[in-house]
Chain A
Amino acid sequence: MGFGDLELITLQQYWWVLISLLGGLFVFMMFVQGGQTLIDSLSENETEKTMLINSIGRKWELGFTTLVLFGGALFAAFPLFYATSFGGAYWVWIIILFCFIIQAVSYEYRTKPNNFLGKKTYEVFLKINGNLGTFLLGVAISTFFSGSEFILTDNNFVEWQNSLRGLEALLNPFNYLLGFALVFLAKISGALYFMNNIEHDAIFARAIKSIKYNMIFFLAFFLSFLAWVLLKDGFAVDADGLVFMQSYKYLSNFIEMPIVLALFVIGVVMVVNAVFFAVVVKKDCCIKTGGVGIVLTVMAILLNVGFNGTAYYPSTVDLQSSITIVNSSGSHYTLMAMSYASLMIPFVLGYIALAWYSMDRVKITKEEIEAPSAHNY
């Protein structure tokens, strides 16, 4: 039996699970973004700052690639979402893209002589990417729950109804909750990563301190986001594909899909556990537990909004234009072809893990960064 024998709906669900996994991995990789916002507060001199930047600088590419694949997989598996959201919420995505272009060059150019814009500028670029990029991605994902203003024509072409082209999401205060939650989560995982990756007592101590207060903010925003989502009416779809509002939709999704709920609870517990061990026991272990926790939590949130008869990209102006995994997916043939390609994923994750392990086996030290032969960012 191959993928071709599976029902369309099964392939759609398989791909939504993969997209959720990718989303989870991407949010985990945002420790790079979070770390970028901490380069000043965790360092006291240039060497320390260089250590921080080199620590996350060896991982930025992976996070960036995960974002690219996330976009590519959405285009392939759910092209109607890709066309509607990117074409419709134009400015949100364009600004996010801007935040990522400036990241890509900053590591490489920052310390190079004659870099034209100056070292400081590239550090500012990294902070813009870490703060604004992360925040806007959170806002964009939040519209999965709050909805957007668009109509799809008979040809499935998008007509966005708000001239702010996506920026109107910022007029809804609830969307800020996930935006800020993501920013503080990234800072926490960034600090956890530094604790694990750098051999330096002072940086270690400062990282613990930063986790403490970022955790307070994170919890405040994340719990508010959770309360909002679980209590709000959700965009439900019936068996005929008709979209309607249902109270406590997302709460009932968790109750009706206990496995998703379990993923969510386990994920949150792992993140809290990681923070506890880092802050109280002062161990350097915790990016791994925290990382797995983040992946599970994000996956559970995306599975909640995609499964169990839910419209994951809802339209508030025309409910029936709302996007579901059923009406937005690629054809059976395409999903099948891509599913075969997806069998490579374990292999890809395997060599990433191997490369990661060989690079991070030895922690970054002051001596390594100051060595004359060092190839530094």
Chain B
Amino acid sequence: MEEHLVDWSRAQFALTAMYHWIFVPLTLGLGFIVAIMETIYVRSGSEFWKKTTKFWMTLFAINFAIGVATGIIMEFEFGTNWANYSWFVGDIFGAPLAVEGILAFFMESTFFAVMFFGWDKVGKKFHLLSTWLVAIGSNLSALWILVANGWMQYPVGMEFNPDTVRNEMINFWDVLLSPVAVTKFLHTIGSGYVMAALFVVGISAWYLLKGRDIIFAKKSMIIGSTFGLIASLFLIFSGDESAHQVALKQPVKLAAMEGLYEGKESAGIVALGMLNSKKTLSNDEETFNFEVEIPYALALLGYHDTTAYVPGLKDLVYGNEARGIMSAQDKMNQGKLAVRALEDYKEAKKLNDTLKAADARIVLEENMQYFGYGHIKSPEDIVPPVATTFYAFHIMVGLGGWFTLLFGILLYLSMKKDISSYRKILISALWSIPLGYIAGEAGWVVAEVGRQPWAIQDLMPVGIAATKIATTNVMISFFMFATLFTLLLIAEVSIITKQVKIGPEGEQ
């Protein structure tokens, strides 16, 4: 397969996913915030809360449409650009996707129309129910796709079938309740709630800075910062569990996240650091130009034990017998045996040689665990881009900490003081909107770049997963998508900005 094909296929998927992730987090969280506001309206009957609900709902709708549009592309790109992958895992991946369609997507889309156009057409309670169902539906939609993603990071509940050459599901609940899937879901929707809260407090801060719509802004600020603070704390817990799962299931990713080349006991976390660009696996250069380390923290985060040994990239690539870590070369050898055994099995089947087929099958099953390593060329190839993973991880965590602090301050000032006079805080709140997007995207970069070269951990590298097609085709479609998505993003930002300027008084 052409070398650049894989890069372009990845670029196209990354482009779609990253654009999708600009819109989705806001949908996930703002849906609930709007539902909370409408609940207050229905309980109090106050026109003020109706207007407030409608204002945030308008912004929700503008953002929602483009999330849907980029979402459909992602679904079909599994087929168009990752056809081999789609076949290899379709039996597992497809089921959550179909369940998602039946259970979640229709809930979202049916009640979306009621929520927007039903104000005067249906009763107050039915309308409120619709708003809640949109929020629940969109979060359920996220569940199934993240279950699928979790499975790719940690494949469980399946069995390889050499006759069909694919993985077949043998336990749906193992797939659904896999710890990686569950933490991934919780951490991801949590980040969506934080994003939505940042959006609400940031825009409210802008009104306060402008000295307009003061009551509206203050009340929105209270709801936004309360919601944000709870979500941030939840994000810290789910993030901790997420890192623990990475340590157990994807140790190479964890080592890359921390730039840890040499394994050590009681490893610390580099809170702040700059990687030395000369550092490679094979030299003894210093890893960092400078770093500030928090001792014991990585061992604690990864293994919930301050004395734990955290393997470094060198251990994972070259093996460490003393610690019982297998080298990549050994895994590659096993992988090659598995790939060969599959070929033998197919050959024997064609010749109706059942004995030989049975032998080949035994070899295959013994080595299946490292099947994907059979396609890896050199041991060093199992290491993801360290700098990208490292910086993305640190940006995400750093910003997450800042948001927690910010929500705390905003909530305190909203409740106890006149927040309008704290202009610097308000300006920081406004500027935290783009930071929220950066943190969210960085999180996905850690998850996806950090697991390279795997499409499915240990089973299928990206190079095998991609559709076989002349690279030019993918290049052209990449630029088509890039242009269209960018135009639509500009349109969305421009429309939202204008709607914010019009303000809640524009709502009737």
- Interface of A with B (CB < 8 Å)? 54, 58-59, 61-62, 64-65, 67-69, 71-73, 75-77, 79-80, 82-88, 90-91, 93-94, 97-98, 100-105, 107-109, 112-117, 154-160, 163, 165, 330-331, 333-334, 337-338, 341-342, 344-345, 348, 351-352, 355, 358-359, 361-362, 372-373, 375
What is the bound-complex CA distance between A73 and B103, given in angstroms? 12
**B103 to A, closest residue via Cβ:** A344
Kindly state whether residue B164 has any CB partner on chain A within 8 Å: yes
- Shortest distance from the beta carbon of B436 to any chain A beta carbon, whole Å: 22
Q: In the complex, what residues of A have CB within 8 A of residue B61's CB?
A: 108
Kindly state whether residue B92 has any CB partner on chain A within 8 Å: yes
Q: In the complex, what residues of B have CB within 8 A of residue A352's CB?
A: 106, 110
Of the residues A100, A158, A337, contact of B95 by C-beta under 8 Å:
A337
Q: In the complex, what residues of B have CB within 8 A of residue A80's CB?
A: 87, 90
- Are the CB atoms of A101 and B484 closer together than 8 Å? yes
**B490 to A, closest residue via Cβ:** A116
- Interface of B with A (CB < 8 Å)? 54, 61-62, 64-66, 68-73, 75-76, 78-84, 86-87, 90-95, 97-103, 105-114, 116-122, 126, 130, 161, 164-166, 168-170, 172, 346, 467-470, 473, 477, 480, 484, 487-488, 490-492, 494-495, 497-499, 502, 508
Q: In the complex, what residues of A have CB within 8 A of residue B117's CB?
A: 54, 58, 359, 375
Task: Identify which of B61, B62, B95, B97 gathers the most chain A CB atoms within 10 Å of its CB.
Answer: B95
Q: In the complex, what residues of B have CB within 8 A of residue A109's CB?
A: 62, 65, 491-492, 495
- Shortest distance from the beta carbon of B72 to any chain A beta carbon, whole Å: 6
The verdict on A72 contacting B98 (CB below 8 Å), with A108-B65, A116-B494 known, is: yes
**B96 to A, closest residue via Cβ:** A76
Closest CB pairs A-B (n = 8): A87-B83, A79-B90, A86-B79, A76-B94, A69-B101, A104-B69, A76-B98, A61-B109
- Are the CB atoms of A61 and B79 closer together than 8 Å? no
Q: In the complex, what residues of B have CB within 8 A of residue A113's CB?
A: 495, 498-499, 502
Q: In the complex, what residues of B have CB within 8 A of residue A362's CB?
A: 121
- Are the CB atoms of A69 and B79 closer together than 8 Å? no
Of the residues B101, B120, B494, contact of A68 by C-beta under 8 Å:
B101
Q: In the complex, what residues of A have CB within 8 A of residue B165's CB?
A: 154-156
The verdict on A61 contacting B112 (CB below 8 Å), with A75-B86, A359-B118, A375-B117 known, is: yes
- Are the CB atoms of A107 and B126 closer together than 8 Å? no
The verdict on A90 contacting B467 (CB below 8 Å), with A82-B90, A83-B79 known, is: yes
- Are the CB atoms of A83 and B65 closer together than 8 Å? no
The verdict on A101 contacting B72 (CB below 8 Å), with A75-B78, A109-B491, A117-B491 known, is: yes
The verdict on A75 contacting B102 (CB below 8 Å), with A61-B68, A159-B468, A337-B169 known, is: no
What is the bound-complex CA distance between A154 and B78, given in angstroms? 21
Q: In the complex, what residues of A have CB within 8 A of residue B118's CB?
A: 358-359
**B168 to A, closest residue via Cβ:** A331
- Are the CB atoms of B113 and A341 closer together than 8 Å? no
- Shortest distance from the beta carbon of A132 to any chain B beta carbon, whole Å: 14
What is the bound-complex CA distance between A107 and B117, given in angstroms? 13
Q: In the complex, what residues of B have CB within 8 A of residue A97's CB?
A: 72-73, 76
- Are the CB atoms of B101 and A112 closer together than 8 Å? no
Task: Identify which of B83, B98, B108, B109 gathers the most chain A CB atoms within 10 Å of its CB.
Answer: B98
Of the residues A65, A84, A90, contact of B101 by C-beta under 8 Å:
A65
- Are the CB atoms of B488 and A341 closer together than 8 Å? no
- Are the CB atoms of A64 and B109 closer together than 8 Å? yes
What is the bound-complex CA distance between A109 and B498, given in angstroms? 12
What is the bound-complex CA distance between A373 and B226, given in angstroms? 31
Q: In the complex, what residues of B have CB within 8 A of residue A98's CB?
A: 480, 484
What is the bound-complex CA distance between A123 and B357, given in angstroms? 61
- Are the CB atoms of B105 and A65 closer together than 8 Å? yes
- Are the CB atoms of A114 and B495 closer together than 8 Å? yes
- Are the CB atoms of B491 and A75 closer together than 8 Å? no
What is the bound-complex CA distance between A115 and B66, given in angstroms? 13
Task: Identify which of A69, A76, A77 gathers the most chain B CB atoms within 10 Å of its CB.
Answer: A76
Q: Would you list 27 pairs from A and B whose C-beta atoms are within 8 A, ordered by A residue?
A: A61-B68, A61-B109, A68-B105, A71-B79, A72-B101, A82-B94, A86-B78, A86-B86, A94-B477, A97-B76, A104-B68, A109-B492, A112-B495, A113-B498, A113-B502, A155-B165, A160-B469, A334-B92, A334-B168, A337-B95, A344-B102, A348-B102, A358-B121, A358-B122, A359-B113, A362-B121, A373-B508
- Are the CB atoms of B76 and A77 closer together than 8 Å? no
- Shortest distance from the beta carbon of B228 to any chain A beta carbon, whole Å: 26
**A101 to B, closest residue via Cβ:** B69
**A360 to B, closest residue via Cβ:** B121
What is the bound-complex CA distance between A157 and B117, given in angstroms? 46
What is the bound-complex CA distance between A358 and B91, given in angstroms? 39
Of the residues A87, A102, A341, contact of B98 by C-beta under 8 Å:
A341
- Are the CB atoms of B170 and A330 closer together than 8 Å? no
Q: In the complex, what residues of A have CB within 8 A of residue B75's CB?
A: 68, 71-72, 75
What is the bound-complex CA distance between A154 and B165, given in angstroms? 8
- Shortest distance from the beta carbon of B363 to any chain A beta carbon, whole Å: 18
- Are the CB atoms of B79 and A112 closer together than 8 Å? no
The verdict on A155 contacting B90 (CB below 8 Å), with A113-B498, A115-B494, A330-B95 known, is: no
Q: In the complex, what residues of A have CB within 8 A of residue B83's CB?
A: 83-84, 86-88, 157-158
- Are the CB atoms of B168 and A85 closer together than 8 Å? no
- Are the CB atoms of B491 and A115 closer together than 8 Å? yes
Q: In the complex, what residues of A have CB within 8 A of residue B114's CB?
A: 355, 358-359
What is the bound-complex CA distance between A361 and B107, given in angstroms? 20
**A87 to B, closest residue via Cβ:** B83
Q: In the complex, what residues of A have CB within 8 A of residue B484's CB?
A: 98, 101-102
What is the bound-complex CA distance between A62 and B109, given in angstroms? 6
- Shortest distance from the beta carbon of A251 to any chain B beta carbon, whole Å: 32
Q: In the complex, what residues of A have CB within 8 A of residue B79's CB?
A: 71, 75, 82-83, 85-87, 93
Of the residues B70, B161, B467, contact of A87 by C-beta under 8 Å:
B467
The verdict on A105 contacting B491 (CB below 8 Å), with A64-B72, A75-B98, A86-B83 known, is: yes
- Shortest distance from the beta carbon of A134 to any chain B beta carbon, whole Å: 16
- Are the CB atoms of A375 and B491 closer together than 8 Å? no
- Are the CB atoms of A67 and B72 closer together than 8 Å? yes
**A67 to B, closest residue via Cβ:** B72
Q: In the complex, what residues of B have CB within 8 A of residue A157's CB?
A: 83-84, 87, 468
The verdict on A65 contacting B106 (CB below 8 Å), with A79-B91, A108-B61, A109-B62 known, is: yes
Q: In the complex, what residues of B have CB within 8 A of residue A90's CB?
A: 80, 467, 469, 473, 477
**A155 to B, closest residue via Cβ:** B165
Q: In the complex, what residues of B have CB within 8 A of residue A91's CB?
A: 473
- Shortest distance from the beta carbon of A350 to any chain B beta carbon, whole Å: 11
Q: In the complex, what residues of A have CB within 8 A of residue B502's CB?
A: 113
The verdict on A334 contacting B106 (CB below 8 Å), with A58-B117, A107-B65, A116-B491 known, is: no
- Are the CB atoms of B467 and A330 closer together than 8 Å? no
- Are the CB atoms of A100 and B498 closer together than 8 Å? no
Q: In the complex, what residues of B have CB within 8 A of residue A64's CB?
A: 68, 72, 109
What is the bound-complex CA distance between A113 and B106, given in angstroms? 30
**B484 to A, closest residue via Cβ:** A101
- Are the CB atoms of A156 and B87 closer together than 8 Å? yes
What is the bound-complex CA distance between A61 and B492, given in angstroms? 18
- Shortest distance from the beta carbon of A344 to any chain B beta carbon, whole Å: 5
Of the residues B95, B477, B480, contact of A334 by C-beta under 8 Å:
B95
What is the bound-complex CA distance between A342 and B491, given in angstroms? 38
**A112 to B, closest residue via Cβ:** B495
Of the residues A93, A100, A330, A331, contact of B80 by C-beta under 8 Å:
A93
